[in-house]
């Protein structure tokens, strides 16, 4: 297939196939309204809907068999955003009122749990009809472990606030891999449904790790720049570790550390932004993104068909593509 209009194709798949499937099996009512509020309201890249379908097409697999996986991916990512907005006490996301602010905390969090379990139930029933028990169990295991790791990332972020200076790079990396599990398991189970070998799936998992880290680093930069208007420096406000903040801490002189902690505690964001500028943290983060994008591309070099390799490289490059040069 041609790759020039992938985002439009993702959106088409979401609107024509995935959203109707969701609406058929999860009623839009008091139980699910907080989730539908973000699912329908946000103008985001729908690659989570499109990726399983695009991969199915590349392997000549019936794409209707992967629509439940696309629905799972969209819904669990949406619930994660709703929960994240609550944990971060954000008022809005991309100009849309945060679900917990519109519907209340209790109903939003319970709705997220309800929708997550409901779509897993729906998915499991569909898998019983389309794959053998071994593959079905493997996909459900991927999903259960993935959701667990997603929650663990939030716990680790909160825990990091106890002592930012004690956090090492391995801890940060683990947070990032757990935090990006939705995209990583999406790749794994999409290739598993396509019938790919364990060897190739392991390659995809490594590729996905670098892809996910690059994508999260891009989001970190957006938190300081593009999303500043809507989310108001959410990461800095929370005071938990991010990779850019880790890079900043690593660059501090001994006599700068006390003031840094004071500025974090007193929420002196202009001073912190100036520090990020002076220490060239955006530039260092961009180098990290470049490294992970190049590693992702290197890992899949010559391992898949020419068409699929081109698609995988295109996805990798998207994680270092900015609409304009990121500046503080």
Rounded to a whole number of angstroms, the distance between the first and last alpha carbons of the chain is: 39
Q: Are residues 113 and 199 in the same domain?
A: no
Residues 221 and 284 in one domain: yes
H or E stretch covering 92: strand 92-93
CA distance 175 to 144: 17
Q: Give, for 82, the enclosing helix (H) or strand (E).
A: helix 67-87
| Domain identity same for 84 and 182 | no
Query: Cβ distance 111 to 33 under 8 Å?
Result: yes
- Cα separation, 212 vs 246, in Å, equals 18
In a domain, 308, yes or no: yes
Residue 137 in any domain: the answer is no
Enumerate the β-bridge partners of residue 93: 96
Same domain, 222 and 97: no
- 112 shares its domain with 176: no
Residue 324 covered by a domain: yes
Phi, psi dihedral angles at 137 (to 5 degrees): -60, -35
Query: What is the residue range of 87's domain?
Result: 1-130
Same domain, 97 and 176: no
pLDDT tens for the chain, 328 residues long, are 455 688 899 999 999 999 999 999 999 999 999 999 999 999 988 999 999 999 999 999 999 999 999 999 999 999 999 999 998 888 998 889 999 999 999 999 999 999 999 999 999 999 999 999 999 999 999 999 999 999 999 999 999 999 999 999 999 999 999 999 999 999 999 999 999 999 999 999 999 999 999 999 998 998 877 655 555 567 778 888 999 999 999 999 999 999 998 998 888 888 998 999 999 999 999 999 999 999 999 999 999 999 999 999 999 998 998 867 777 6
Q: DSSP character for 14?
A: I
Where does a domain end: 107, 130, 153? 130
What is the pLDDT, as a whole number, of residue 2?
56
| The domain boundary residue, chosen from 114, 130, 146 | 130
Asked if residue 139 belongs to a domain, the reply is: no
Could you say which DSSP state residue 93 is in? E
End of a domain among 106, 130, 154? 130
Q: Which two tokens stand for residue 136?
A: 């079905």
The answer to whether residues 308 and 184 belong to one domain is yes
- Look at residue 250 and tell me if it is in a domain: yes
Per the domain annotation, does 158 fall within a domain?
no
Is there a single domain that holds both residue 100 and residue 172? no
* 3-class SS of residue 96: strand
Query: How many domains are there within the chain?
Result: 2
> Residues 223, 111: one domain?
no
In a domain, residue 18? The reply is yes
173 with 101, same domain: the answer is no
Q: Tell me, yes or no, whether 157 lies in a domain.
A: no
Three-state DSSP state, 100? helix
| Torsion of the alpha carbons at 213, 219, 221 and 226, rounded to the nearest 10 | 160
What pLDDT, on a 0 to 100 scale, did the predictor assign at position 224? 79
- Which of 22, 112, 111, 32 is CA-nearest to residue 68? 22
Nearest-CA neighbor of 80 among 148, 8, 12? 148
Long-range contacts of 293-301 (CB under 8 A, 24+ apart): 293/210, 293/211, 293/214, 293/317, 293/319, 293/320, 295/210, 296/207, 296/210, 296/211, 296/214, 299/203, 299/206, 299/207, 299/210, 300/203, 300/204, 300/207
* Residue 90 structure tokens: 């954000």
Same domain, 189 and 306: yes
Q: What is the pTM of this model?
A: 0.90
Q: Find the CATH number of the domain harbouring 82.
A: 1.10.600.10
Q: Which residues, other chains included, contact 179 with Cβ-Cβ below 8 Å and sequence gap of 6+?
A: 150, 153, 157, 216
Is there a single domain that holds both residue 203 and residue 270? yes
Would residue 315 be called left, alpha or beta, if left means φ above 0 and alpha means ψ between -120 and 50 degrees?
A: alpha
């Amino acid at each position: 297939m041609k790759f020039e209009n992938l985002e439009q194709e993702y959106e088409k798949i979401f609107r024509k196939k995935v959203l109707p499937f969701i609406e058929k099996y999860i009623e839009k009512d008091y139980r699910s309204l907080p989730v539908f509020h973000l699912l329908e309201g946000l103008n985001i890249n729908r690659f989570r809907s499109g990726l399983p379908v695009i991969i199915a097409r590349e392997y000549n697999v019936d794409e209707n068999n992967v629509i439940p996986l696309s629905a799972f991916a969209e819904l669990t990512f949406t619930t994660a955003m709703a929960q994240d907005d609550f944990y971060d006490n954000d008022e809005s996301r991309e100009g849309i009122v945060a679900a917990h602010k519109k519907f209340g905390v209790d109903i939003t969090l319970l709705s997220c749990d309800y929708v997550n379990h409901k779509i897993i139930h729906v998915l499991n029933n569909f898998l019983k009809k389309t794959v053998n028990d071994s593959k079905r169990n493997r996909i459900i295991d991927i999903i259960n472990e993935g959701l667990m790791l997603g929650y663990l990332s939030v716990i680790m972020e909160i825990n990091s606030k106890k002592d930012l200076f004690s956090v090492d790079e391995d801890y940060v990396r683990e947070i990032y891999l757990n935090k990006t599990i939705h995209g990583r398991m999406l790749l794994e189970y999409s290739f598993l449904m396509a019938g790919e070998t364990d060897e190739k799936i392991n390659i995809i998992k490594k590729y996905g790790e670098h892809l996910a880290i690059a994508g999260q680093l891009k989001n970190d930069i957006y938190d300081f720049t593009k999303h500043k208007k809507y989310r108001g420096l959410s990461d800095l406000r929370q005071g938990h570790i991010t990779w850019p903040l880790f890079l900043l801490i690593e660059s501090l002189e001994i006599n700068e550390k006390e003031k840094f902690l004071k500025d974090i505690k007193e929420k002196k964001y202009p001073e912190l932004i100036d520090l990020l500028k002076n220490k060239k943290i955006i530039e260092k983060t961009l180098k990290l993104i470049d490294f992970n994008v190049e590693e992702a591309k290197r890992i899949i070099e010559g391992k898949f068909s020419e068409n699929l390799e081109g698609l995988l490289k295109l996805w990798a490059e998207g994680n270092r593509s900015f609409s304009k040069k990121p500046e503080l």
